[in-house]
Structure formats: structure tokens, C-alpha cells
Amino acid sequence: MTFHYRDPDGERLEIEADEFADGTPALYIDTTAPIRLHLDQVEDLVAGIRDTRRYAAAPHPQAATQATDTAKDRWAQQLVAVLADLDRCAHGRHEGDPCSGTECDGTSRGNPYIGPDRVIGYSRYGRPLFLPARPLKHEPAAWHTAPTTKDHT
């Protein structure tokens, strides 16, 4: 999982789940240069750091180890991060997270183009894809199961 921020000057900040050589969870923070942060985006940045921290601290049984880490594994992890970001609002917050955007009124409403029980695409074999409930979005099988409205409340 990677949190991305770009400031008004175009400078980039990325915070990625990582680990130390001994396997201890860590956060990797990368910037292109010093960044400027609008005051109304401080909470979004803090929430992004917290989300990434929670992801880094959670066990990931399929996560690659140093011995098996390949370009294909890294590509798959990046693709999972893209899919997991599909429910974010225009301010970068997941549905239900605190958000300072005026359209969200304090709590992110998520992606306005993706909602409960909406098909967002199709698999190679024509099977419909859905955005899964928040706790399941890192589970590949959940993308093939139609959510219920209850899952999104």
C-alpha cells in the first residue's frame, strides 16, 4: 500500500508500507523535494500515514519475502494498491474516513462513480467485478462477489 500526495508546486510525497531487514514493519517515506501542505490537508496526510501504518503492521500471508521478491511480485503488489484505491474520494480518502473536502462534509463519501451493487468492470471471462466492502478489498475473491447495501453502510 502506498499513500501519494502532490503539493501545489508539483512536489511528490509517497509513504509506503515496508519492513526492516529483520522483518520488522516500517514505513518508507520518499519525497522529490520539501513539500508544502495546505492546512486543510493536514488531517488527510495524517490519515494516509495511519492507513499505511495499519497496512504495514497487518500480517500479509501472501506478501513477498526478500528471498522471493521479484519484479512480478512488486507489480502485483502495486496493482493491488491501485485496486484498493478505487473507493477513494477526490481528496484521496477512503469511504468512511475523515475528510476535509467540502463535498464530503467531514466524512469521505468515497468514489462517486462506484457505489453499492454497481458493476465496475468484468473479468477476462465476463464475470462482473464489484468494489468489495472495505475490510475485504485486499481479498481477490471479494471483487467477484456482489456487495450488499449492508456491506457499504
The pLDDT mean for the chain works out to 78
Is pTM beyond 0.75? Reply is: no
CB 91 within 8 A of CB 99: yes
| Across 17-41, average pLDDT | 84
pLDDT computed for residue 143 by the predictor? 74
The three-point CA angle 51-96-8 to 5° equals 65
Please classify residue 3 by burial: count the beta carbons closer than 10 Å to its beta carbon, then call 0-12 exposed, 13-18 middle and 19+ buried: buried
Model confidence over 92-145: pLDDT tens digits?
888 888 888 778 888 888 888 887 667 888 887 788 888 777 777 767 777 777
58 Rama sector, left if φ>0, alpha if ψ -120 to 50, beta otherwise: beta
User: What span, in angstroms and rounded, lies between the C-alpha atoms of 89 and 108?
Assistant: 6
pLDDT surpasses 70 at 63: no
